[in-house]
Amino acid sequence: MNYQWYPGHMTKAKRQMQEDMKLIDLVIELVDARIPLSSRNPDIDELGKNKYRMILMNKSDLADPAKTAAWSAYFQEKGCYTVCLDARSRNGMKKVNDVIMQACREKIERDRKRGIQNRPVRAMVVGIPNVGKSTFINSFAGKACAKTGNRPGVTKGKQWIRLNKNVELLDTPGILWPKFEDQEVGLRLALIGSIRDEILNTDELALELIGIFKRDYPGLLHERYGTDEAAEALQILEQIAKNRKCVSKGGVYDYSKAAALAIEDFRSGKIGAVTLEAAPNAGQARADAEGVRQGGSE
């Protein structure tokens, strides 16, 4: 699903999220592990400042494992619990459940001391469009999920999914708006397919992508397309067109077709497991941590 964000749209989403925040203990934020920073909206730090916080590094099957580990450490240093995930699989879901329990242990302990038993942790899933929120909810809830419907004392119309005796999830995820202001951020969002392709210049996007591969992942383009690593990005695009027979009627190379092919191959992980942005240096997270509840690390 693609959204066109405009100020009114953002204000409405923000207001809705502020309302939903009142109902929950824990914010489960999904980011795309290939661009962990560009795929998040930092406003969530303010919106969820009094809540327990968890960041799921989703689509980690497509991301560079070493960089995913560095990003996890960064977010943990900021006071968020983290789990690396492929939301399409149910394999990681026990881990998610365990980490929810860790993240909310203060509350669970407080309830226990007051003699309150079995009051589930209430959580909400948030993230920018296409990051995998619905996929995650489906995998996490599985078949066992039961919608609990409207509950007395809870805002009318809210549906909760009872996952097990410990956790309840708001069934509609909170949609965060991507931040396009920074050109680099816009570029990365475009590369992972979070901006509608019709409004993009695919050729330019592919040249940027080739540049990133040349700089950060030398050898991968050669492995996939047999291209010359030392060549300029445009020449590499031409080599891709040649080697993949992207030729238009008059026998000229079809750069756009080659560009679309490279972008698609990147998005589906065929070129390799790649992360487009590096985690800030250790210590930076502490400086950034203002406004984030200190919850400890995984």
Under rule CB under 6 A, which residues in 123-142 are in contact with ligand G4P?
127, 129-135
Q: In the set 34, 40, 53, 59, which binds ligand G4P (CB under 6 A)?
A: 59
Q: By CB under 6 A, is residue 58 in contact with ligand G4P?
A: yes
By C-beta, is 87 or 163 nearer to ligand G4P?
A: 87
User: CA-to-CA distance for 257 and 285, rounded, in angstroms?
Assistant: 41
Q: Token pair of 221, please? A: 């383009």
By C-beta, is 196 or 245 nearer to ligand G4P?
A: 196
Cα radius of gyration (the chain): 21
User: Smallest distance from the beta carbon of 193 to ligand G4P, in angstroms?
Assistant: 8
User: CA-to-CA distance for 161 and 143, rounded, in angstroms?
Assistant: 11
Only one of the segments 4-12, 42-50, 59-67, 257-265 lies at the binding site for ligand G4P (rule: CB under 6 A); that segment is 59-67
Q: By CB under 6 A, is residue 86 in contact with ligand G4P?
A: yes
Only one of the segments 82-90, 98-106, 196-204, 277-285 lies at the binding site for ligand G4P (rule: CB under 6 A); that segment is 82-90
By C-beta, is 133 or 224 nearer to ligand G4P?
A: 133
User: Is residue 166 within 8 Å of residue 159, measured between CB atoms?
Assistant: no
**Site of tokens 């609990």:** 148
Within a 10 A sphere around the Cβ of 67, how many other Cβ atoms? 21
Only one of the segments 57-65, 100-108, 151-159, 244-252 lies at the binding site for ligand G4P (rule: CB under 6 A); that segment is 57-65
Size of the site for ligand G4P (CB under 6 A): 17
Q: By CB under 6 A, is residue 88 in contact with ligand G4P?
A: yes
Closest CA to 144 of 116, 165, 170, 174: 165
Q: Token pair of 213, please? A: 């591969």
CB-count exposure of residue 218 (10 Å: 0-12, 13-18, 19+) = exposed
Within a 10 A sphere around the Cβ of 30, how many other Cβ atoms? 27
Taking CB atoms, the residue at the shortest distance from ligand G4P is: 132
By C-beta, is 41 or 130 nearer to ligand G4P?
A: 130
Distances from the Cα of 46 to the Cα of 51, 80, 97, 120, angstroms: 10, 14, 25, 24
Only one of the segments 19-27, 97-105, 122-130, 220-228 lies at the binding site for ligand G4P (rule: CB under 6 A); that segment is 122-130
Q: By CB under 6 A, is residue 267 in contact with ligand G4P?
A: no
User: Smallest distance from the beta carbon of 173 to ligand G4P, in angstroms?
Assistant: 6
Within a 10 A sphere around the Cβ of 272, how many other Cβ atoms? 16
Chain residues that interact with ligand G4P, rule: CB under 6 A:
1, 58-59, 61-62, 85-88, 127, 129-135
